[in-house]
Amino acid sequence: MKQMDLSDLPEYAEGTIWLNEDIEGYQITDADIYFEEDYKELYHLRINKSRFHDGFESRHVVKVQFFNCDFSNVRFESSTLKDVEFNQCNMTGTEFSNMNMMSVAFNECKMMLNNFTECKFENIHFNDIQFKQLYFNQIKVKSLDFARCSISDFEVFDTPLQNVDLSDIDFGEITVQKEDLESSIISIDQASKFVELFGIRVKRE
């Protein structure tokens, strides 16, 4: 996924900001961000080193870059993300549920205790991330990519990973149903882990 270039957007004010429909096409840096009650769409923004104090429930986020932002314990519920990048963000405890996600990249983010439930994934990229406890629950996957990732504890339930390349993941503990792994792609080094996981015995000549 090619990175967007929104670096030429003009700067908006710093400090405490209440986002509203008049704020689009700007860069925002070092801000404490809240949402006005009726504000439903973040559009065409580059947000740097900022903290979010409200959840993203039922909001649309389109053509937005986040750099070094704090999303810890923020909820994305029934929201839509399209053409969005999270770069070096703190996403500890960030909750993702009942979402539509299209062309979204997570790059070098801190991700711990992340639950993706009943989401739709299309062109989703996780790059250079060390996950601590990642949960996939009832996700519909159209396109998903992992590059240079590690997952210490990975639980997958009712989420078919057909044609998903898992070979660039360093797995710790993993809980997954065999049918969810059908036609996924793994490395030779990972094969022994999955053989053990599913209780398959290898006969040696």
Report, as an integer, the average pLDDT of 174-180: 88
Residue in the structure block whose two tokens are 């549920």? 97
pLDDT of 205 reads 60
In this predicted structure, the answer to whether residue 182 has a pLDDT above a threshold of 80 is yes
What percent of the chain shows pLDDT beyond 90? 73
DSSP one-letter code for 193: H
pLDDT of 22 reads 87
pLDDT band, very low/low/confident/very high, at 14 (cuts 50, 70, 90): confident
Q: What is the pLDDT of residues 123-147, one digit of tens each?
A: 999 999 999 999 999 999 999 999 9
pLDDT of 38 reads 85
Please tell me the CATH code under which domain 15-197 is placed.
2.160.20.80
Q: What is the pLDDT of residues 47-76, one digit of tens each?
A: 999 999 988 999 999 999 999 999 999 999
pLDDT of 203 reads 47
pLDDT of 192 reads 77
Element of type H or E holding 196: helix 188-197
Beta carbons of 55 and 36 less than 8 angstroms apart: no
- The pTM score is 0.91
Beta carbons of 146 and 124 less than 8 angstroms apart: no
Beta carbons of 109 and 128 less than 8 angstroms apart: no
pLDDT of 144 reads 97
